[in-house]
Structure 1
Amino acid sequence: MALQIFETDPDARPAPKVKSEYTRPAFTFRSGMQRNRKPVKLDNWRIVAEELEPLKALAELLGGTAEEYSASAREPFHVLTETDSVEIVIDGAGAVEERMILWGPNGPIHECDGVEFLSPADAKGKPCGCPKELDQRKAWAQQGRGPKPNIPIRFRLAGLGYELGFGLLRISAWTFLPDLDPLKAALAAIDGEALCTLELEHISFINDKGEKIEYSKPKITVQGAYADAIAEER
């Protein structure tokens, strides 16, 4: 005889588990690193991973040496590549997520879309209390009082196929926000996977104090349908 406890209390029945289409990324692209706890700007892409093997294939394609850089890091292996531009494949606008996150020692303590909370479940949809003005949002984030952009983008490298798994680019730069909507629109306009160029755009200028400011930001250019690009190569 089968148990019928959920027949008497259907609200307590566990929801069916939905298998995610994606697992953990095989590798993550980063535009910088830390040395002696200080951020270091890089001229080329840096790739980190939990396992060494994926990085060996990436090093063959993009240059550099796959090695362990920090035994205590969650992704302890990296390769400092020899390129600031790579061709990637993005599967639609759904591969680009948008959120604002303030991280605490054990995970996100504030997650919103800039206006309403995205989590936790009991707060989802409620006003998040973030400032309306962009400059004030940046100031709060800098002071550790408010969230900053957290934009994960899933992709795979063109020319490597699916066997390596997918990569992740997690963008936190405020300067990327004006590019976000045009990128998603360009991806949505393509039926299927899009062939894109992912590059580090190097910015340099003199500020009002006469100081030279240099930084790099990710730039993604949608070239067109990946299927069309493959057909042209045949």
Structure 2
Amino acid sequence: MLDLSLDTSSPSSGVVHEIDTHRTEFPIVLDGPQSLSLGMVMRGRSGMQICGATHVPEAAALAGVPCGCPLTWGERRALSRAGRGPKPAIAVRFRLVEEPALGNFDLLSSSWALMEDAHVVAPALGTKGSPTTAVLRVDQLAVTTADGVEVIGRRPSIQLSRR
């Protein structure tokens, strides 16, 4: 059983459930490839540029054309930090193995580490909606900026379960 508190609110867009747990790792269920949405987004003065991390998304006018992003994650991250490349845009839809009655949850993130993890997990999800178990971790991360200010955040990661 998960040790969690459930905060329910009703903003204008619908009911929102927020999980507050004291654990950093818990098992989840991914229901096929539709559980992961992986893309790259660059926002700027001229609007928003979207790519599918390797190719322009099918909905775009140039669908299927290579996006021009470098092949390695390190190069992509360096361009993004320099303001000349897109950032990850990741959505993970999951259910909690220990509390499936709570329904689906969405994790939205721009984490580079999660993008790399998701590209490893995605092929294992197959082409059908068959459930796959994985482990979601949310680690606390403390970073000191160049100005000496400590910033504390969360770093999500996902791995397939060892079953």
Q: TM-score range by the shorter chain?
A: 0.5 to 0.7
Residues 112 and 119 of structure 1 are in contact (CA less than 8 Å); yes or no, is this contact kept in structure 2?
no
Matched, 1:63 2:1: no
Instruction: Summarize the alignment of residues 74-223 of structure 1 with structure 2, pairs less than 5 Å apart.
Output: 79=18, 81-83=20-22, 84-103=24-43, 109-118=48-57, 120-130=59-69, 134-135=73-74, 137-142=76-81, 145-161=84-100, 164-188=102-126, 192-203=130-141, 215-223=153-161
Larger Rg: 1
How many equivalent residue pairs?
Answer: 159
The sequence identity of aligned pairs, in percent, is 26
Higher strand share goes to which structure?
2
Q: Which amino acid aligns with 1:199?
A: R
State the TM-score, normalizing by the size of structure 1: 0.49
Corresponding residue of 1:50: none
More moved, 71-80 vs 128-137? 71-80
Q: Secondary structure at the match of 1:99?
A: strand
Structure 1 residues 128-153: Cα deviation after superposition (integer angstroms, max 9, x where no partner): 34456655533543465532111222
Alpha-carbon separation, structure 2, partners of 1:143 and 1:73: 37
Higher helix share: 1
After superposition, the Cα gap between the structure-2 partners of 1:101 and 1:221, relative to the gap in structure 1 and judged at 3 Å, is same
Q: CA deviation at 1:110?
A: 1.4
Give how far 1:114 is off. Answer: 3.6
| TM-aligned CA distance change 1:165 to 1:103, over 3 Å | farther
In the TM superposition, residue 72 of structure 1 has moved relative to its aligned partner by: 7.3
Cα distance in 2, alignment partners of residues 89 and 76 from structure 1: 21
Higher relative contact order (CA 8 A, sep 6+): 2
On the 8 A contact 1:149/1:173 being kept in 2, the answer is: yes
Q: Is the 8 A contact 1:187 1:222 kept in 2?
A: no
- 8 Å Cα contact 1:199-1:219 kept in structure 2: yes
Distance 1:81 1:202 in 2: 14
Q: Where does structure 2 lack aligned partners over 5 or more consecutive residues?
A: none
TM-score w.r.t. structure 2 length? 0.65
What SS does the aligned partner of 2:38 have?
Answer: coil
Q: How far is 1:81 from its partner?
A: 0.7
Alignment RMSD (CA, Å) = 4.1
